[in-house]
């Protein structure tokens, strides 16, 4: 079948996207084998998978000029619990029918591939607009959908309540239902400012952790550039570079005013691995002996932000998700449709509203 696919110019582009196919001759052979087997042996496909009734399959077998009907009812449905198959009886696979079936199946496969590619493209676009995006460490499909759902929910709650959200609740909402690795990834992306947010407590095992609810000071909205190795969760880099660089800005410093960040480095270096450990919705602060003030400053709860090259990062009161900040250089009219979004593109105008919360 693949050889046929490759010989069909109309199908070639989709197939060639998956170079693995073309390169893996073993796989190709096995697939061809499967294909031939499936086509020539309809019984095999009957046994595979589908629990749906077969009573209505009118499609392929009806179209034929060949009126011969195979006597195969006896061997089906009688033995075991298999229900007797109804519907049109199978017709003999003449060479002509085999060929037509192959062509039809090949076209259907190409369409299905295209459809799945479109679906994956949409998922990629979705990955770019959820709070944690990395080209190198992509969220899985299911985790992308879960995070997107949580993100929508969290934003809705902010709009609905009209209050500054509690940062822990926000993160908990985002991470709800996510796997542990993804939770840690998101938590790493949404850098919490431990000094501003967390109140350290003593754990039962003597370890210190932070917990509780606290008011939001430094609010989101910059996603660490996870494609940067320094920004990978688990990174223990202690670079003094500030997260608010190039394309990735933290929103602003805390309202407490912990000073202006550095913006000079030509190379963005993402914040360090977060001091946050999230476990089943419980948040604790990892103890890092090297928690320098610089590091603390770097733990900003953050999301995507599209930093304009050469532009100044937002000041202390310029939320990155907002388009109203005069210094942010971001205006709602510049917001691109989601399908055109790329890394760190601006977000939807809803951020204007959200932004208002943090300009009080």
Partner DNA sequence: TAGGCCATCTGGTCCT
Partner DNA sequence: AGGACCAGATGGCCTA
Does 45 sit near DNA (CB under 7 A)? yes
Does 62 sit near DNA (CB under 7 A)? yes
b/e 22-35 (16+ beta carbons within 10 angstroms → b): eeeeeebeeeeeeb
Does 31 sit near DNA (CB under 7 A)? yes
Does 81 sit near DNA (CB under 7 A)? no
Q: Which of 4, 22, 25, 55: binder of DNA (CB under 7 A)? A: 55
227, 235 in Cβ contact below 8 A? Answer: no
Q: Which is nearer to DNA, 137 or 324 (CB)?
A: 137
Stretch that binds DNA, among 99-107, 201-209, 239-247, 347-355 (CB under 7 A): 99-107
3-state helix vs strand vs coil in the chain, percent to 5: 40, 5, 55
Taking the complex as a whole, the smallest distance from the CB of residue 191 to DNA amounts, in Å, to 21
Q: Which of 6, 8, 60, 294: binder of DNA (CB under 7 A)? A: 60
178-237: contacts with DNA (CB under 7 A): 179
Does 132 sit near DNA (CB under 7 A)? no
Q: Which is nearer to DNA, 68 or 112 (CB)?
A: 112
List, in sequence order, the alpha helices (H) in 48-162: 59-62, 95-129, 141-161
Binding letters toward DNA, positions 232-271, x by CB under 7 A: ----------------------------------------
Helix (H) or strand (E) holding 210: strand 208-211
Taking the complex as a whole, the smallest distance from the CB of residue 64 to DNA amounts, in Å, to 9
Q: Which is nearer to DNA, 15 or 291 (CB)?
A: 15
How far, rounded to the nearest angstrom, does the alpha carbon of residue 295 sit from its chain's CA centroid? 28
DSSP lists the bridge partners of residue 282 as 279
Could you tell me which residues come within 8 angstroms of residue 148 by beta carbon, excluding any fewer than 6 positions away?
126, 129, 130
Taking the complex as a whole, the smallest distance from the CB of residue 145 to DNA amounts, in Å, to 10
Q: Which of 22, 96, 122, 142: binder of DNA (CB under 7 A)? A: 142
Q: Which of 7, 9, 10, 49: binder of DNA (CB under 7 A)? A: 49
Total of chain residues touching DNA, rule CB under 7 A: 55
Does 76 sit near DNA (CB under 7 A)? no
174, 154 in Cβ contact below 8 A? Answer: yes
Q: Are strands 276-279 and 282-285 parallel, antiparallel or unpaired?
A: antiparallel
311-340: contacts with DNA (CB under 7 A): none
Could you tell me which residues come within 8 angstroms of residue 68 by beta carbon, excluding any fewer than 6 positions away?
91, 92
Does 141 sit near DNA (CB under 7 A)? yes
Angle at 128 between CA 127 and CA 130, to 5 degrees: 65
Q: How far apart are CA 300 and CA 319, in angstroms?
A: 12
C-alpha to C-alpha distances, 320 to 80, 157, 161, 247, 344, nearest whole angstrom: 65, 19, 21, 11, 10
Interacting residue ranges for DNA, rule: CB under 7 A: 1-2, 5, 15, 17-18, 20-21, 24, 26-27, 30-31, 34-35, 38-39, 42, 45-46, 48-60, 62-63, 104-113, 115-117, 120, 138, 140-143, 179
């Amino acid at each position: 079948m693949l050889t046929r696919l490759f010989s069909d110019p109309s199908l070639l582009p989709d197939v060639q996207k998956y170079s693995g196919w073309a390169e893996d001759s073993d796989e190709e052979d096995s697939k061809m084998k499967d294909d031939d087997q499936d086509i020539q042996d309809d019984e095999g496909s009957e046994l595979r998978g589908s629990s749906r009734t077969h009573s209505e399959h009118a499609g392929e077998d009806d179209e034929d000029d060949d009126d011969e009907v195979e006597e195969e009812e006896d061997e089906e449905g009688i033995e075991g619990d298999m229900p007797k198959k109804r519907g049109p009886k199978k017709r003999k696979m003449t060479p002509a029918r085999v060929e037509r079936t192959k062509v039809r199946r090949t076209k259907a496969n190409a369409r299905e591939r295209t459809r799945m590619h479109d679906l994956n493209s949409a998922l990629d676009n979705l990955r770019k607009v959820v709070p944690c995006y990395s080209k190198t460490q992509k969220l899985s499909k299911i985790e992308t959908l879960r995070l997107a759902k949580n993100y929508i929910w969290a934003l809705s709650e902010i709009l609905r309540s009209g209050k500054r959200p509690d940062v822990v609740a926000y993160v908990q909402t985002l991470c709800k239902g996510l796997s542990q690795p993804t939770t840690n990834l998101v938590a790493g992306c949404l850098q919490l400012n431990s000094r501003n947010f967390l109140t350290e407590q003593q754990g039962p095992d003597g370890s210190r952790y932070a917990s509780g609810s606290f008011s939001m000071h430094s609010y989101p909205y910059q996603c660490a550039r996870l494609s940067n190795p320094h920004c990978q969760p688990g990174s223990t880099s202690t670079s003094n570079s500030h997260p608010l660089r190039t394309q990735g800005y933290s929103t602003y410093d805390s309202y407490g005013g912990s000073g202006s960040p550095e913006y000079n480095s030509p190379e963005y270096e993402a914040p360090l691995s977060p001091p946050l450990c999230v476990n089943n919705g419980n948040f604790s602060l990892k103890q890092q002996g090297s928690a320098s003030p610089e590091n603390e400053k770097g733990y900003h709860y953050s999301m995507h932000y599209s930093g304009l090259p050469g532009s100044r990062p937002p000041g202390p009161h310029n939320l990155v998700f907002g388009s109203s900040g005069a210094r942010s250089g971001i205006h709602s009219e510049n917001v691109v449709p989601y399908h055109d979004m790329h890394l760190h593109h601006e977000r939807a105008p809803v951020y204007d509203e959200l932004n208002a919360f943090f300009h009080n």
